[in-house]
Structure 1
Amino acid sequence: MWCGGEVAVTVGVLLLLLVVHQLWWTNRQARDGAERQVQALEQEWESGAAGGGPTVAPAPRPEDGERDREQPAADHEQKPAADKPAAPRWDQAYAVLSIPRLGVRVPVAEGVGKAGVLDKGYVGHYPRTAQPGRAGNFAVAGHRNTHGEPFRYVNRLRDGDRVEVRTRNATYTYTVDRRLAQTLPSDGGVIDPVPRSAVRPGAGYDERGYYLTLTTCTPEFSSKYRLVVWGKLTSVAVR
């Protein structure tokens, strides 16, 4: 009985340490690393920035996407000179995503792998979806729990909330206008160029445009389903 009690206590302590590691240490480590990466990106951009303040372009119209799939603009003849970067290297952080309502500010990296991106507290860009500000769907994923949990409270986003994506030469502002509280992990329609759920056909959009998709796991501390938040590009500030 004495030996059994010691084993039970040891197992209990190990489990407690595992919980502390997952819920506290991974968050602290990932958040610190992500913030350092944000600062490094911003310092790099500022050191190479040209003089003068940003210029703001009006929100793009859907018909502009039909005529020019590469550059959003309200006036097709006077498009803002937003950056057109080469495809980012795998796992490379190349943008900063901010959600003012939630106080979130995290790096965006190419790919959605856990070890190289998500577990570092980054937001991961789905390969083969649009890049920031481009026609189509800029789709990203982030942890809801542990490892920095940048999307912990995305369920609190409401219509009109802003999501900003800053790259080296421009800041793209998307405005939230739709949400999908729960869908299957296999529902690839939510990150299509015209995002529309294949599981819940009434959720999503019907026409081409400039979209943002945020995805994360739900319910909390589970990966059984996916939570989706959508928005549309409403302004571009070119540096």
Structure 2
Amino acid sequence: MTQETATAAPEDSAAPERRRRRGAAFWVGLALVLGGLGMLGYVAWQFYGTNIVSRQHQERVVGELQEQWRVAEAGTIDARPERLKLGDASALIRIPAFGDDYVVPVLEGIGDAELASGYGHFPDSADPGRRGNYALAAHRVTHGEPLRDMPELRPGDEVVVETRDAVYTYELDTDPNDLIVTFEEIWVVDRLPRNPDGGTEPPSQEPGQRLITLTTCAELFHTDNRMIAFGHLVDTERK
């Protein structure tokens, strides 16, 4: 064996190893790129795609509910909230401060499916216009964002709730920015909410009141805390 051949042998034997390393690096890099694209796609879907799908679904539910009310005859279709099952639409919400075209359905229950379709009605809370606390929850981001602008609401703003039989107008008593609670503080949906810390609560606390409570995420990108607004019934218009 010549000296030239002996010198070249180690370099030749190292070449396959270098190719294997370059190949491994390529696939690792590709996996990272694909993973990053997948994450971006997921985020885009959550913040844009779910809004498009949910708003289309909400419009469909609103139309179906209005048509049901139009064609229902006494005793033929009972659309009263106490007769409905979880997931059924029971009312329509209008908030004039959010614009004339703001109409969002209310569904019985507060599960993922209900909140992806509009407002969710806490099952153990009062029905619209009834004594007690009509408690609602809705997304602030994703899935249609019904309460995206809740921080802009102020005392005196109206929340109009339409059912098959009546239109109930509630007036907010509190500024949503004044009460932030953890998701564990369920006192806010009690029949007569009383703040254990002595802070913000409905200004008049008397049995027999007809209240409304709106709940949503306190922060846009954090879901542990809830923003709360309380109100009371000021008008009932029978259909």
Q: TM-score, normalised by structure 1?
A: 0.80
In the alignment, is residue 201 of structure 1 matched against residue 198 of structure 2? yes
Structure 2 Cα separation of the partners of residues 217 and 84 of structure 1? 29
In the alignment, is residue 166 of structure 1 matched against residue 162 of structure 2? yes
Preserved contact between residue 187 and residue 197 of structure 1 (Cα < 8 Å): no
Correspondence 1:77-156 to 2 at 5 A: 86-103=82-99, 104-115=102-113, 117-120=114-117, 122-156=118-152
Distance 1:164 1:181, change over 3 A: same
Point out the structure with max Rg over C-alpha. 2
1:100-157 Cα offsets, whole Å, 9 max, x none, are 1113311111110113x0122x111111111000011000101111111111111110
Structure whose residues are more often helix by fraction: 2
Q: CA deviation at 1:49?
A: 7.4
Q: Percent identity?
A: 37
Paired residue secondary structure (1:203) = coil
Unaligned residue ranges in structure 2 (runs of 5+): 1-24
Give every structure 1 segment of 4 or more consecutive aligned residues whose post-TM-superposition deviation is greater than 6 Å.
none
Structure 2 Cα separation of the partners of residues 204 and 147 of structure 1? 28
If asked which structure has higher relative contact order (CA below 8 Å, sep 6+), I would say 1
Preserved contact between residue 62 and residue 104 of structure 2 (Cα < 8 Å): yes
Structure 1 Cα separation of the partners of residues 226 and 81 of structure 2? 30
Paired residue secondary structure (2:151) = helix
* Between 180-189 and 227-236, the greater mean CA deviation after superposition: 180-189
Q: CA deviation at 1:5?
A: 2.3
Q: Which residue of 2 aligns with 1:79?
A: none
Match for 2:237: what amino acid? Answer: A
Paired residue secondary structure (1:223) = strand
Q: CA deviation at 1:85?
A: 5.3
Structure 1 Cα separation of the partners of residues 156 and 128 of structure 2? 19
Unaligned residue ranges in structure 1 (runs of 5+): 51-82
Q: CA deviation at 1:84?
A: 6.3
